[in-house]
């Protein structure tokens, strides 16, 4: 099934991808590819931990070259479709995309850690609450903040503003409102356009665009938003369980969850007590 892609085709497909891959994952991938018989399952698991690599992979597999009827969000399926040779070309192309300074790596560790944590927690939650869209929940967890490293690249003071945004978030102010005031854009908008450039399914890109707009989304009782609500409900619970407000926002209180949590739990049919138990179970599982 897999068609081999040349280095040129991969370079062309990667244009505009600028979320840097995690250095340690690149090392592990390079190591695996030099094995006499590289294991595609190991490679898929490594790629699935990294937003930049996963985005590049899905961009390739959702390109017209592959002619898929529907865009996919499953990393495992994408790896199987591409095959080992193309995957190795992709890894090599990503590894030469530019070195980062130690300071940048330290700052981005916060982004990479939450991306992996939230993705795994989304996956677990999706299974626990019987969601049909398990792969998509994982992908949303992995990609929801993919605008953060791009904002950081463009605005060196970005993390300070993001912390301030988390500190002031609540019922009457969204995390993205402060970013909009300072930068005239925000990581959700940048994430949306990045997701579109990665050719992610439109409803996934839409969930990325709205992931700090959950209060408005869940306050709207119309049914037409059910796909968006299903994805955002899982994401918001996962962000809270993984303490994104601490890791990315450097806050001791999750103001955003306090504003929207009751609406999310009401939507998925969980009581506070059920959710607390679920949170404990997931943390003990090591998803967090």
pLDDT digit string, tens, across residues 113-167: 899 999 999 999 999 988 888 999 999 999 999 999 989 888 889 999 999 999 9
Which of 29-33, 137-141, 242-246 has the weakest average pLDDT?
29-33
Q: Quick check: 2 pLDDT over 60?
A: no
Q: What is the pLDDT of residue 287?
A: 47
CATH code linked to domain 102-285: 1.10.3210.10
* Three-state DSSP class for residue 6: coil
Q: Which two tokens stand for residue 153?
A: 């690249």
Q: Which two tokens stand for residue 40?
A: 């595609």
Rounded Cα–Cα distance for residues 12 and 82 (Å): 16
Per-residue pLDDT of 80-114, as tens digits, reads 988 888 888 888 777 655 567 788 888 898 899 89
Per-residue pLDDT of 256-265, as tens digits, reads 999 999 999 9
Q: What is the pLDDT of residue 182?
A: 94
Domain ranges of the chain: 7-95, 102-285
Its pTM stands at 0.87
Q: What is the pLDDT of residue 10?
A: 61
Q: What is the pLDDT of residue 185?
A: 92
Q: Quick check: 4 pLDDT over 70?
A: no
Percent of the chain residues past pLDDT 90, beyond the cut: 58
Which of 31-45, 133-147, 181-195, 229-243 has the weakest average pLDDT?
31-45
Task: Specify whether the CB–CB gap between 185 and 162 falls below 8 A.
Answer: no
Percent of the chain residues past pLDDT 70, beyond the cut: 91
Q: Where are the alpha helices (DSSP H) in the chain?
A: 7-14, 23-33, 40-47, 51-61, 75-95, 102-128, 134-143, 147-154, 158-168, 175-183, 187-197, 202-209, 214-219, 226-241, 244-247, 255-268, 272-285
Residue at token pair 């601490």: 246
Which of 161-175, 225-239, 274-288 has the weakest average pLDDT?
274-288
Q: Which two tokens stand for residue 247?
A: 């890791």
Average pLDDT, the chain: 88
């Amino acid at each position: 099934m897999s068609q081999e892609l040349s280095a040129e085709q991969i370079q062309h497909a990667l244009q505009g991808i600028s979320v840097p891959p995690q250095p340690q994952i690149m090392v592990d991938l390079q190591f695996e590819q030099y094995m006499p018989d590289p294991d595609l399952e190991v490679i898929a698991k490594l790629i699935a931990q990294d937003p930049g690599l996963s985005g590049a992979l899905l961009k390739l597999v959702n390109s017209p070259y592959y002619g898929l009827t529907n865009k996919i969000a499953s990393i495992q399926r994408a790896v199987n479709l591409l095959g080992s040779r193309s995957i190795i070309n992709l890894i090599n192309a990503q590894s030469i995309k530019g070195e980062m300074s130690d300071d940048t790596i330290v700052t981005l560790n916060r982004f990479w850690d939450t991306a992996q944590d939230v993705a795994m927690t989304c996956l677990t939650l999706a299974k626990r609450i019987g969601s049909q869209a398990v792969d998509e929940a994982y992908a949303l967890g992995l990609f929801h903040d993919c605008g953060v490293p791009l904002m950081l690249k463009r605005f060196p003071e970005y993390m300070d503003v993001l912390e301030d945004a988390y500190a002031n978030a609540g019922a009457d102010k969204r995390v993205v409102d402060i970013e909009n005031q300072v930068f005239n854009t925000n990581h959700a908008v940048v994430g949306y356009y990045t997701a579109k450039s990665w050719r992610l399914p439109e409803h996934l890109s839409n969930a990325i665009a709205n992931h700090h707009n959950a209060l408005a989304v869940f306050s709207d009782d119309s049914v037409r938003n059910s796909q968006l609500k299903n994805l955002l409900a899982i994401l918001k619970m996962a962000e809270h369980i993984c303490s994104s407000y601490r890791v990315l926002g450097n806050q001791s209180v999750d103001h955003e969850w306090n504003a929207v949590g009751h609406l999310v739990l009401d939507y998925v049919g969980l009581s506070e007590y059920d959710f607390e138990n679920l949170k404990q179970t997931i943390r003990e599982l090591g998803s967090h």
